[in-house]
Amino acid sequence: MQRSRIKSHVALLVVPALLVGGAVTAQDDDGMSLEGQDIVVSYMQSGTYDAAAADIAGAFTEETGANVEIIAQPFTVLNQSYTTDLATGTGQFDFISATSWIADLFPQLLPLNDIYDPADFPGYIPELLEPGRAPYNGDDLVGVPYAVDAYGVFYRTDLFEQAGVTADWTTWDEFYDTLAELELTLEDDVSPMVFAYGAPEQVPAIFVAAYDGYYIDENDRFAVEPEAAAAALEHVLTGLDYSPDGATALSIDEANAIFNEGKAAVLIGWPSFNRPAANASEVTGGNWALGSLPGPGFPWLSLWAGGIAGTSDVPEATYEWIKAYITPELATANMEKYGIGSPFASTYSDPALLEANAHDYPVQAANLAEAKNVAWTFPAFDAAWRSTGEMIVGNLTPEETVQAWHDSWATIDPPPASIADAEALGLKQGS
């Protein structure tokens, strides 16, 4: 008997049928029929990961007999739903889109060591399967990466050429010096840069790139080095000096649109969320390239992995979905169609793709190689970005923001998986 499904607070997508080339069969590897089994799969609501799932769900049902329900929710709602569902054992989801933000819930995900076969996912970028990037509960892999991205810099190659500047900055001072030079040659209605300051959960992206220090202290607590963190937050605020009016209210989509409409020379953002639009724009198409954020920190990594809820009563069918959704061929196609960052090395080594995307793919691959997770769970992250949002609108100084972080983190216990990630990535004090 299938368990009841609780869906009153989620968005259910209409799933079209689109053949996926016989990636799966009507039986799993043990010969058990999947006919009539119901799989609930969940993704962040973005028009990317969820849309890619919708593309193949009809064919998956046709080929396996298993029914797929796709639940898509905004980032913060998704994390809250997982916390409620996995911590209480409600059993709403089968496929979990796991990230480091839910590291405290990794023990509630099904260990994949006994069923994961590397041959099912040929050609992964090796670093993405290492602890600190892919999700692990101790030695147990609990998620298979399906999408990766690293915060980067879109820049207008025509405007940079006009100003006689290049995108070869290494420090934030050099980056802002470049923006200052650009500003001298730009039209009055074109700002040097744009960033989604109005989406405060995104603001830590600049902090992460500007901060060179620990995220877990020697006592295994969430913490940062106060002086270095405050200095990094000063760089966050400096960006406002080069941003358009109303920058503190801009969402991701609004910031991307300003760049694609030619009203900013530089966009700091997720390539996955702007790549197709930038290529299609009459203004930026053929006139943009991807650059790297300055240091001394690192590019903020977004790594989504397909996991299986420990409460799932259809784990075999769910693993078949994982194999169907995560293939080198689909990853490459989805990067072209939706901008989703592929976790497969083949996407970035294909000669034809490299030639067509010379302005993008080589730098994306380099950024991914340097990118790291931030060793924060969602509660720790939530405390950080809410205080940072207060700083952006002038209610807190950088020093007060760091103190607010520590005050909030004092009540939040890092789970073992976050501590292990910090140790693996050199983000723990003394590591």
Domain boundaries, the chain: 11-149+301-356, 152-212+226-298
**269 pLDDT more than 90:** yes
Asked if domains 11-149+301-356 and 152-212+226-298 share a fold, the reply is: yes
Q: Across residues 5-9, what is the average pLDDT? A: 28
Find, among 313, 323, 320, the residue nearest to 94 by Cα.
313
Q: Which residue has the higher pLDDT, 76 or 309?
A: 309
**73 pLDDT more than 70:** yes
**pLDDT tens, position by position, 310-357:** 999 999 999 999 999 999 999 999 999 998 999 999 999 889 989 999
Q: Tell me what pLDDT residue 127 has.
A: 85
Q: Tell me what pLDDT residue 421 has.
A: 94
**271 pLDDT more than 50:** yes
What's the rounded Cα separation, in Å, for the pair 237 and 258? 20
Amino acid in position 358: A
Amino acid in position 56: I
The conformation of residue 2, written as its DSSP 8-state character, comes to P
Q: Tell me what pLDDT residue 131 has.
A: 87
Q: Compute CA distances 307 → 19, 57, 69, 94, 394, whole Å.
A: 24, 17, 16, 8, 40
Neighbours of 185 (CB within 10 A): 14
**pLDDT tens, position by position, 112-136:** 998 999 999 999 988 888 888 999 9
Residue 147 three-state SS: strand
Give the DSSP H or E segment for 315. helix 315-325
Q: Across residues 372-380, what is the average pLDDT? A: 92
Give the DSSP H or E segment for 76. helix 75-88
Q: Across residues 386-397, what is the average pLDDT? A: 95
**9 pLDDT more than 50:** no
Q: Tell me what pLDDT residue 173 has.
A: 97
Block residue for tokens 């497969």: 344
**6 pLDDT more than 50:** no
Q: Tell me what pLDDT residue 431 has.
A: 83
DSSP string, 262-303: TSEEEEEE-GGGTHHHHHH-TTTTTSEEEE---BSS-PBEEE
Q: Tell me what pLDDT residue 24 has.
A: 43
**402 pLDDT more than 70:** yes
Neighbours of 150 (CB within 10 A): 28
What's the rounded Cα separation, in Å, for the pair 427 and 420? 10
Q: Are 194 and 202 in contact (CB under 8 A)?
A: no
Q: Which residues pair with 97 in a beta bridge?
A: 306
What's the rounded Cα separation, in Å, for the pair 14 and 30? 31
Amino acid in position 186: L
**pLDDT tens, position by position, 217-247:** 999 999 999 999 999 999 999 999 999 999 9
What's the rounded Cα separation, in Å, for the pair 310 and 150? 29
**266 pLDDT more than 80:** yes
Q: Which residue has the higher pLDDT, 1 or 251?
A: 251
Q: Are 297 and 227 in contact (CB under 8 A)?
A: no
Looking at every residue in the chain, the average pLDDT score rounds to 91
| CATH match for 11-149+301-356 among 3.40.190.10, 3.30.300.30, 3.40.50.1000, 3.40.50.1820 | 3.40.190.10
Residue 193 three-state SS: strand
Q: Across residues 410-418, what is the average pLDDT? A: 96
| CATH match for 152-212+226-298 among 3.90.1150.10, 3.10.20.600, 3.90.1170.50, 3.40.190.10 | 3.40.190.10
Beta strands in 309-359 (DSSP E): none
Q: Which residues pair with 155 in a beta bridge?
A: 266, 289
Q: Tell me what pLDDT residue 379 has.
A: 92
Q: Across residues 147-163, what is the average pLDDT? A: 97
Q: Tell me what pLDDT residue 87 has.
A: 84
Q: Tell me what pLDDT residue 52 has.
A: 97
Query: pTM for the whole thing?
Result: 0.86
Give the DSSP H or E segment for 43. strand 38-44
